[in-house]
Amino acid sequence: MNEQNQTGFERENAEAVTIDPINPKIRQMEVIDTDFHFTPSWKTIRSYLEEPFQSLLFHYPVGSLEYNPEPANEKPGVGQDTHGVAATAADVLKILDQFGTDTVILNPGYNRPQSIFNEPMIAAIASAHNDYLIAEVFPVSPRIKASLMICHRDPFMGAEEIRRVGHHKQFVTVYTSFSSLYEPIGNAKFDPILDAMQEFGLTLTCHSEGFFPHFTPLWNGARTWIELFGNAPIGNCMAHLAAMIVQGMFDKYPKQKVIFQEGGYWWLPDFMLRMDDFYLGSGGDIALVERKLATKESKLHKLPSQYVLDHVRFSTQPITIPKNRKHFAWMLEMCHAKDLFCFSSDWPHQTLDPANWVVENTDCIDDDFQKALLSGNARKLYNRL
């Protein structure tokens, strides 16, 4: 009922409302989330470990040597899992519904195993993780897909795991991480992994990471979370991508697709121009890389920038949007975002991106572009989606 108060303002009652922070348009579109971290409990993982690992790994064998971002977030008690922990298929489906996501690609929350000193231990944990997915997660819903976890530090162990479980259709990609390796995954020593992937048509995921003992050199002298996870992944991502291109990975594996995650992408215009320019003026030593020595070739099959367009995609989280609208439109165009970008949320981490931004920047991202970002580009990228 309206009433008039003593100051002359008309006065009404207002009810408390429950707000769905997800834009309603998102719930009407197909959304594929290409990066969502799934973290089963250690008790669960341990129950799937082969012996003798199950008997001897009483606890998860990585502990205190990673930097907990609580001082950066000024938020105690949650570490990197700011938005929670998804440990079961039921947990995942609940979060998908909350965010309006139709299909998800689970990446391992237990990605720290790549930091363990003992590589057979890494491989055992990866196998247990995969077996849990196959036995208890995939059967629950076809909406749930996943990255196949391997010990990518040992190319032969990695290839063995791909051949063991790669036939399962809900694995749509193989998970690796840049900055957890001293050498880029584009180096020919990792070809056993690429060889195995060709047998199943699996996409390669390269996700940001980096903890003891595989600190990236870009962390030297750093003091803050901003340097460690805001900036260093960009340099690592560029280094891995450059190696894939100029060390001939895509020439040897012409059907291979790669998605980079959390290494940024607004640097692409410079990278593509610079790589082409260096190649045209200083490409002679490409003849000296392993793959080119094997084929007796002295050149790449195409310009470096063309490999990016033909083989490489980028997940979008964390999107950074400049206030200048022209700049945003130009950045999207210069990065070929309509073809190269695939939506990701990175749930449950601090820089989580719900999909709202895709449909709320209509001056720069029209309807077709929105569809490409939210699902179309992912469907083209992953053979098994």
Partner 1 sequence: MKEYVIGKVGDIPEGKGRAFQAGRATVAVFKSNGKFYAMANRCVHKGASMCDGDLTNGGTVVRCPWHNWAFDLTTGVHCYDDSEKIRTYEVKTEGDQVILTA
Contact positions toward partner 1, by CB under 8 A? 5, 7, 9-19, 21, 23, 73-75, 82, 350-354, 356-357, 360
- Give just the sign of the alpha carbon dihedral 59, 64, 69, 75: positive
Instruction: Answer for the pair 107, 113: CB distance below 8 angstroms, yes or no.
Output: no
- Give just the sign of the alpha carbon dihedral 248, 250, 251, 252: positive
144: β partners:
104
Of 23 and 141, which has the nearer Cβ to partner 1? 23
Q: For residue 105, give the 3-state DSSP assignment.
A: strand
Q: How far is the CB of 343 from partner 1 (least distance, A)?
A: 14
Residue 66: both structure tokens together: 């990673």
Q: How far is the CB of 98 from partner 1 (least distance, A)?
A: 12
Of 74 and 363, which has the nearer Cβ to partner 1? 74
Q: How far is the CB of 35 from partner 1 (least distance, A)?
A: 16
Question: d(Cα 119, Cα 357) in Å, to the nearest integer?
Answer: 40
Helix (H) or strand (E) holding 282: helix 268-282
Q: How far is the CB of 83 from partner 1 (least distance, A)?
A: 8
Phi, psi of 366 (to 5 degrees): -80, 180
Of 34 and 317, which has the nearer Cβ to partner 1? 317
Of 23 and 231, which has the nearer Cβ to partner 1? 23
Of 16 and 288, which has the nearer Cβ to partner 1? 16
Of 21 and 63, which has the nearer Cβ to partner 1? 21
Q: How far is the CB of 278 from partner 1 (least distance, A)?
A: 37
Question: d(Cα 308, Cα 271) in Å, to the nearest integer?
Answer: 10
Q: How far is the CB of 232 from partner 1 (least distance, A)?
A: 20
Residue 260: both structure tokens together: 């980079």
Q: How far is the CB of 73 from partner 1 (least distance, A)?
A: 5
Question: d(Cα 190, Cα 158) in Å, to the nearest integer?
Answer: 9
Which residue in this structure is represented by tokens 């291109």? 245
Question: d(Cα 231, Cα 225) in Å, to the nearest integer?
Answer: 9
Nearest residue to 347 via CA among 116, 94, 44, 138: 94
Instruction: Answer for the pair 373, 32: CB distance below 8 angstroms, yes or no.
Output: no
Of 78 and 134, which has the nearer Cβ to partner 1? 78
Q: How far is the CB of 102 from partner 1 (least distance, A)?
A: 21
Of 17 and 288, which has the nearer Cβ to partner 1? 17
Question: d(Cα 211, Cα 65) in Å, to the nearest integer?
Answer: 7
Residues 6+ away with beta carbon under 8 Å from 59: 42
Of 176 and 345, which has the nearer Cβ to partner 1? 345
Q: How far is the CB of 117 from partner 1 (least distance, A)?
A: 33
Q: Give me the DSSP letters along 87-148.
A: -SHHHHHHHHHHHT-SEEEEEES--GGGG-S-HHHHHHHHHHHHHHIIIIIGGG-TTEEEEE
